[in-house]
Amino acid sequence: MIQARIQARAPGAPPPPTVLHGAARDPATEAPRAVVAGIGFRHATLPEEIVALVAEGLRQADLAGARLAAIATAADRAGDPAIRAAAETLGVPLVAVDVEALREAGRRVVTRSVRIEALRGVGSLAEAAALAAAGPDARLVLPRIASAGATCALAASGDALPS
């Protein structure tokens, strides 16, 4: 279930990230989610690099025309201005995935980074975030790709999976 933090914000400020605690399905409809981009990034990464990497991921997965439902990252990084600006530029919500959900989804990642595994307990932050945000039936439609400062993976579930 996705739970949103509700807080006052300044006019024009991006909305706060959604915080994921468990399955990523809308409890009202139980509808499958569309494509979710999981993002890992270094502190100095610019939002333009993240946006370009998401676009490249969609292109590589032959999903350039697909509807991106959200971008997802670790909860402790979701407040970073770069990821918030990237989500705003892409016009999608930012899902902040908590440690438990990352580790649960981390069992299904296909890429392994020794550094990220030591830091986060998952082989790929991007893949785990995408899988967690897309829900328990999600599968990767694009394993992790990388730029100089970011990683991106794409996941979808149910009917949202491309044929």
Which pLDDT belongs to residue 127?
95
CB 41 within 8 A of CB 83: yes
Q: What is the dihedral of CA 92, 60, 22, 163, to 10 degrees?
A: 110
Which burial class, exposed, middle or buried, applies to 95 when counting CB atoms under 10 A from its CB (0-12, 13-18, 19+)? buried
* Domain architecture of the chain: domains with CATH: 30-160 (3.30.420.180)
Q: What pLDDT tens digit does each residue of the chain (163 aa) get?
A: 232 232 333 445 444 444 443 333 333 333 434 799 999 999 999 999 999 999 999 999 998 777 899 999 999 999 999 999 999 999 999 999 999 999 898 888 888 888 887 788 787 999 999 999 999 889 999 999 999 999 999 999 864 444 4
CB 50 within 8 A of CB 41: yes
Which pLDDT belongs to residue 47?
98
Residue 91 CB partners (closer than 8 Å, separation 6+): none
CB 158 within 8 A of CB 150: no
